[in-house]
Structure 1
Amino acid sequence: MVQITFLGGADTVTGSKFLVETPSSRVLVDCGLFQGYKVLRARNRQPLPFDPASIDAVVLTHAHLDHSGYLPLLVKNGFAGRVICTEGTQALCGLLLPDSGYLLEADARYANRRGFSKHHPALPLYTKADAELALKSLSPKPFGERIEVTGDCSIRFRYAGHILGAASVDMIAAGKQIAFSGDIGRYGDPLMFDPEPIPQADVVLVESTYGDRLHPDIAPQQVLKEIIERTVRRGGSVIIPSFAVGRAQMLLFHINAVRRRGQVPDVPVYLDSPMAISATALFTRHARDHRLSEAECADAWDDVIYVRDVEASKRLDAEPGPKIIISASGMVTGGRILHRLKKYAPDHRSTIVMAGYQAGGTRGAKLLAGAETIKIHGQQVPVRAEVVSLDMLSAHADQHELLRWLGGFEAPPQQCFVVHGEADSADQFRLQITEQLGWKARVPEHHERVELG
């Protein structure tokens, strides 16, 4: 008998964790942090319903923290097995996990210094040292090869698009073939390969981040051109909260393209994120995992001012004249973007460009909803800047693209579980799967355990 327990990503778009149990092994697929609403973040501090030491292996679909960010805590609490992932995921986890630990420590110190935490003292979920220890467990494997995980469980990584190293997982567990979509990327993306189909599976777990909507069919470079033009014309700056991995590189690709064609005013472009700078270098080193050659990578990222150290970042706010600043984090949950917004959100001349999915409860979601103020470091900061969204730049497949990926299966699975989506999105996508494909599909509940017949 094979069982799956949905320990995250089941009633929300974050915290992905799926426990696969066979008569002789326990494998955790993804090990993500919950993000967004406080009630979700609180789950990160609740004990797991199993002993981490009892897990034989972890399989990561990709490096984003909502899929990998709980790993340091899992290791800290006793997990001692392998974490199987792609080479690109290993490289990006090397950036994301220590940075996550560092930010958790920094946020705790800042909260203690300013006294705005309800916990006394405020303690980080885990530390940078915990994250660095967890990295030693990562075991990188290539795309396309069948990999033994345990005696009765094997996997094959298939390209998912989305970000560098992202994979869908084709698993065989005690004779049951289970497909985990991971996060599916876009078809025709200028950077990443198209999502790769999985021919067959008994059970499918499919993400539904954008399962209830379609991305606008608008050229992103035209939209960016118009945003930059009107913002600079009124003397403001363009501030872009961005995910350091994937989104920052995509933004630079498009901004550099319109600048090279002379379509926008010649203002400086700053990449204000050490992690994004390092991730950009990784794109060059892992060119075989995406569409651009090393030379094309170098061409796409040139003419950008990299801002690594803290003092240089602080000086950005004093630099005169319009500018474009790309800074992390993408959902405005922490990092340098908080300091940039304290400066530029109150400026009616400037524009804040939201360039990706904003989970409910994040500052990014509040900005998109038209919030007049946002809370940063315990203070209410007025929002007078223009706020716009670049939905067409999403690294997540929309409803039609998700259905296209599901259409790659040669026969309907016995069961289809719709995961990793907000409630409305997941339920609407479930209906689409039923109506368009004729499959049996449902949305599992948090902590639900199912037996695969």
Structure 2
Amino acid sequence: MRVHFHGAAGEVTGSMHLVEAAGRRILLDCGMIQGGREMEARNFEPFPFDPASIDALVVSHAHIDHVGRIPRLVWQGFRGPIYIQDAGADLLPVMLLDAASLAESDAERENRKRRPGEPEAMPLFTREDVHDVLDLVRPLRYGARTAIAPGVEIAFRDAGHILGSSIVELWAEGRKLVYSGDLGPHGTPILRDPEPVRDADLVLMESTYGDRNHRDRLDTIHEFGDLLEQAWNARGKVLIPAFAVGRSQELLYWFARYWDEWQISRWRIFLDSPMAAKVVAVYDRHRTLFDEEAREVWKRRPNPFTLPNLHLTDSTEASMAINRIENGAIVIAGSGMANGGRILHHFRHNIERRATHVVFVGYQAEGTLGRRLVDGASTVRIHGEEYRVNAQVHTIGGLSAHTDQSGLLAWYGHFEGNPPVVLVHGEDRAREPLARELRRRGAGEVTLARPGTAVEV
């Protein structure tokens, strides 16, 4: 068995790993590279392999940095089955159709500014391309060991990252590969904890937060409640860039959980994302995957997804109307890294106001607007115009959908015999401290994946 690393190998986005075993070629994830304009231009580059030669695609979960290049893979010749956990299969069309719509809109905007003789801007993929992808999807339940090609079997275990997120077990040639996908922290609301795995001959493990431990979740929640109180007293507005899958649903959960303590009823809450509203519906259909505490919260009132003061804004006009509200509003909008989507329009209208509170609740990749704001930029460029950052910018790291260094070490610690591990899905500043700690604890060979490199097992 040989594993080639073609994405998320020294960076966080663009997950893509190729497994060659039993005479077959299996691709693990096919994600979009996210960041600045130069980074995202790499999504248009040819694949470092022939897409038609891939026998099957195995997807760990439906976040766009793990699925966002699948339409191009199909467009360029891939015709094999796509395996994903069944809740993830429900999320996949929501994610890809939204990304296609954004790509088409961006290309249209660029072409309106195109000068004579300049090449026409093309979207990364279209909504029609997405429908070609969906014809190939084969949903699987957690725990169902399945033959996906002659001599190759897989099974999914719950990764606790988003609904339907999976740890992938892959058997071939008498060897077993375990790919962590993205692992969620223990105690994440709504979701179950990541499942332990006992045996492997090689482990591919994410390392997004390999260099740090998150704050205690309870402390984080108290901080969030204090922040809301501060914003209310300042007659301010709260803007939360959040991914449509995962963080948006968790925020609604906390609003319901602390409905009385935080006096949530006094706020107007806007989930300003048509995609997030669709995701909420998917979550609601898969309550059997919720943890016990979430099932208890759902029995009470208010239901997190039907809060009496929650407004799901679908149309552009409804989204624009939010900017006429100067205080008393909590706005959750994509994208989570503020590199596109409706949150940018809210920033344009509010980021120069001192009473505005911008709250980041997820990872901010290099090159994104979110990263620049978190790093303390005094001015930012949005839609070609410069804006002074007078808003108060907060990072609530304890709400991350990724586990931290302790969680990663604990998950690896369940393996018997300290199998070799390759660290993916992390920048070097996060991977190197994690690698040192794994070696200190007696882990087998620890490798930092690089683009174009390979390991054998």
After TM superposition, the score normalised by the length of structure 1 is 0.95
CA 1:165–1:323: 2 relative to 1, 3 Å: same
Aligned length, in residue pairs: 449
Conserved in 1, the CA contact under 8 Å of 2:61 and 2:181? yes
The structure 2 residue matched to 1:331, chosen from 334, 337, 348, is 337
| Local SS of the residue matching 1:85 | strand
Q: Which amino acid aligns with 2:286?
A: H
- Cα distance in 2 for partners of 1:34, 1:411 equals 34
Match of 1:95 in 2: 94
Measured in 1, the distance between the counterparts of 2:19 and 2:35 equals 26
Secondary structure of the residue aligned to 2:188 is coil
Say which SS state the counterpart of residue 42 (structure 2) adopts: helix
Check the 8 A contact 1:229/1:264 in 2, yes or no: no
Check the 8 A contact 2:22/2:152 in 1, yes or no.
no
- Cα deviations across residues 125-173 of structure 1 (Å, max 9, x unaligned)? 1112212221221110010111111101111100100100000001102
Provide the rounded CA distance (Å) in 2 between the counterparts of 1:218 and 1:160: 19
Which consecutive unaligned segments of at least 5 residues does structure 1 have? none
- Partner of 1:93, secondary structure, is helix
Indicate the residue corresponding to 2:289 in structure 1: 289
Compared with structure 1, are the counterparts of its residues 451 and 410 closer, same or farther at alpha carbon in structure 2 (3 Å cutoff)?
closer
Measure, in 2, the Cα distance between the counterparts of 1:284 and 1:342. 33
- Please name the residue that 2:152 is paired with: 153
Distance 1:230 1:114, change over 3 A: farther
CA 1:342 to 1:160, structure 2 compared with 1: closer, same or farther past 3 Å? same
2:21 equivalent in structure 1: 22
Residue type matched to 1:176 in 2? Answer: R
C-alpha displacement at 1:114, in angstroms? 4.1
The CA distance in 1 between the partners of 2:47 and 2:31, in whole Å, is 12
**Mapping of 1:336-415 within 5 angstroms?**
336-413=342-419, 415=420
Check the 8 A contact 1:72/1:131 in 2, yes or no: yes
CA RMSD of aligned residues (A): 1.7
Q: Which whole-Å CA distance do the structure 2 matches of 1:168 and 1:40 have between them?
A: 27
In the TM superposition, residue 98 of structure 1 has moved relative to its aligned partner by 0.7
Residue 300 of structure 1, aligned match among 299, 304, 313: 304
1-side partners of 2:335 and 2:300: how far apart? 26
Q: Which residue of 2 aligns with 1:139?
A: 138
2-structure distance, mates of 1:444, 1:243: 26
State the identity as a percent.
Answer: 38
Q: Hey, what's the Cα distance between the residues in 1 that align with 2:354 and 2:107?
A: 32
**Whole-Å Cα distance in 2 between the matches of residues 190 and 437 of structure 1?**
32
SS in 2 for 1:155: strand
Q: Deviations over 1:346-394 (max 9, x none)?
A: 1111100001011111111111001112222122222110000110000
Q: Does 1:438 align with 2:437?
A: no
SS in 1 for 2:103: helix
- SS of the equivalent of 1:251 reads helix
Equivalent in the alignment of 2:208: 209
**Residues 1:254 and 2:264 aligned together:** no
Aligned partner of residue 109 in structure 1, secondary structure: helix
Give the direction of change, closer, same or farther, for the CA distance of 1:348–1:60 in structure 2 (3 Å limit).
same
Letter in 2 for 1:403: L
Instruction: State the 1:282 CA deviation.
Output: 1.1
Amino acid at match of 2:158: Y
Q: For residues 367 and 163 of structure 1, do their structure 2 counterparts lie closer, same or farther at Cα, with a shift above 3 Å needed?
A: same
Distance change in 2, residues 1:343/1:409 (3 Å):
same
CA distance in 1, matches of 2:125, 2:392: 36
Answer whether contact 1:87 1:141 (CA < 8 A) is retained. Answer: yes
Which segment drifts farther, 355-364 or 211-220? 211-220
Find the counterpart in structure 2 of residue 230 from structure 1.
230
| Match 1:428 to one of 422, 426, 433 | 433
Q: Give the TM-score normalised by structure 2.
A: 0.95
Residues 180/279 of structure 1: CA separation in 2 closer, same or farther (3 Å cut): same
Q: How much has 1:262 moved relative to structure 2?
A: 4.9
- Cα distance, 1:284 vs. partner? 1.1
Which region of structure 1 is more displaced relative to structure 2, 203-212 or 40-49? 40-49
Inter-CA distance 188–376: structure 2 relative to 1 (3 Å threshold): same
The 1-side partners of 2:265 and 2:249 are apart by: 21
The match for 1:317 is: 323
Mark the CA change 1:149 to 1:240 in structure 2 (over 3 Å): closer, same or farther.
same
* Corresponding letter in the other structure for 1:337: I
Q: Deviations over 1:331-357 (max 9, x none)?
A: 011111111111111111110000101
Structure 1: how far apart are the matches of 2:448 and 2:38?
20
- 2 CA distance for matches of 1:417 and 1:45? 27
- State whether residues 97 and 132 of structure 1, in contact with CA within 8 Å, keep that contact through their aligned partners in structure 2: no
Determine helix, strand or coil for the equivalent of 1:121.
coil
After superposition, what is the alpha-carbon deviation per residue over 1:50-84, rounded to whole angstroms, capped at 9, x for unaligned? Answer: 11111110000000011111101101111101000
**Offset at residue 218 of structure 1 (A):** 4.8
